[in-house]
Amino acid sequence: MEQTLAHFDVVVIGTGPGGEGAAMQLSKAGKTVAVIERYEHVGGGCTHWGTIPSKALRHSVSRLIEYNQSPLFNQTDASQRLTFKDIMSHASGVIRKQTKLRGGFYSRNRVSLMHGQASFIDTNTLKITRDDGTFENITADTFVIATGSRPYTPPDIDFSHPRIYNSDTILSMQHDPKSMIIYGAGVIGTEYASIFRGMGVKVDLFNMRDRLLSFLDDEISDSLSYHLWNNGVVVRHNETYDKIEGSEDHVVITTESGKKMRADCLLFANGRSGNTEMLNLPEIGLTPDSRGQLSVNENYQTEVGHIYAVGDVIGYPSLASAAYNQGRFAAEAILSAGKVHNGLVADIPTGIYTIPEISSVGKTEQELTEAKVPYEVGRAQFKHLARAQIANSMVGSLKILFHRETKKILGIHCFGERASEIVHIGQAIMQQKGKGNTIEYFVNTTFNYPTMAEAYRVAALNGLNRLF
């Protein structure tokens, strides 16, 4: 039954990183804020289906591989094996902790949390429909759409089949596959290829392009290809599916090139769509694109001035870390009459949680060559570092790209265990002003020994030695 309309300064739709960033900033500035979450728990796709569970899975599988490969622990021929269900129990514990933590932010900051599906009645009124069919309407001066995204599911594939998964439903997989087809070799596809291969599953990875993760520096992309190949993943480039059919005990994929392959199950990981179709956006004059995404200006405003959008629902860079800052910047624009004074850093770090990890920030060699920038390369191989030898994590390297004349750091590329942590040291120096952002910093500072961070000193000396 409809109740008296509650009014808020701002209503935020979605409780992922983007929605959380906006709601916290606005509430701390004294605005009355409500957040709408259509699921039972806060946190969005980041906490429940994407970033947190897949990284928790990856961590467990990495430790399993480490255990099985260590002569110290595994002194018999029988290697330890865990099922997907076993490993998911750790991820579930992490999700519970994150949900409890994030839920506390809203109550502590006096943000009204409402559960239900939001849809616009007009440009200032939202209808919130609960699971039991009851609803209430609320009004606000300003709205922030932070509804996130979901896996793209083409209509010609039967995703209700128990052996055909997307990157959300894979987390509730019940059976223990011996073989798997992963269709889509983007970030999600390559991460899951690493995870399942680490569990001993035979993996065929289908890539629609001619190389893996082509936005990466070529050497890093080649390193990933080699390590997947070396670990037994079959990567099939330039392949597109014609049809995907599930039966009682297997899935068959037929490609446009005429190939047929069979596996116990299939994970479809080819792109994502913005969650906008339930919001009734045409009613307020907003039209998402074919992938459900909204366009915004530099202040995160949509074409309707008092409605903002942040996170996956606006597309690139589709990163939890960026979404949180986008939410904060949108809040800043709302608080200062439509003008953001800060923006995302130009060089957003990329963290890809394959096994081993990949992380980079700044320019690639290809980009610098194309732009005719005179750069030089400094490298450090992990196998030469004492800390890597101690931890037995010797696969990988750090690469620093810097200007030959000014010695300014132009790009950092890292492949190996803890890469997504290691890259931040280089990122911090890149962001310095004046002459504080040169490669010479790494030679002139003192690093703890033994550490992985010491790779910066080794790479810097290697690069400076190339100059003449």
Q: Which residues are annotated as a binding site for NAD(+)?
A: 184-191, 271
| Two tokens, residue 451 | 């550490």
Query: How far apart are alpha carbons 304 and 320 in whole angstroms?
Result: 25
Q: Which of 86, 248, 85 is nearest to 170 (CA)?
A: 85
Supply 137's token pair. 């309407």
Phi and psi, residue 218, nearest 5°: -55, -40
- Within 8 A by CB and 6+ apart from 390, the residues are 450
**Which residues make up each annotated binding site for FAD?**
37-46, 55, 147-149, 312
DSSP 114: E
Residue 450: cis peptide before it, omega within 30 degrees of 0: yes
Q: State how beta strands 6-13 and 33-37 pair.
A: parallel
- Sign of the Cα torsion 208, 209, 215, 218 reads positive
Place of tokens 């300064």: 9
Closest CA to 256 of 208, 214, 210, 212: 208
Q: Which of 324, 344, 339, 332 is nearest to 19 (CA)?
A: 324
For residue 87, the surrounding DSSP H or E stretch is helix 84-108
Residues placed in the known binding site: 37-46, 55, 147-149, 184-191, 271, 312
- Other CB atoms within a 10 A radius of the CB of residue 24 amount to 22
Give bridge partners of residue 438 from the DSSP assignment. 408
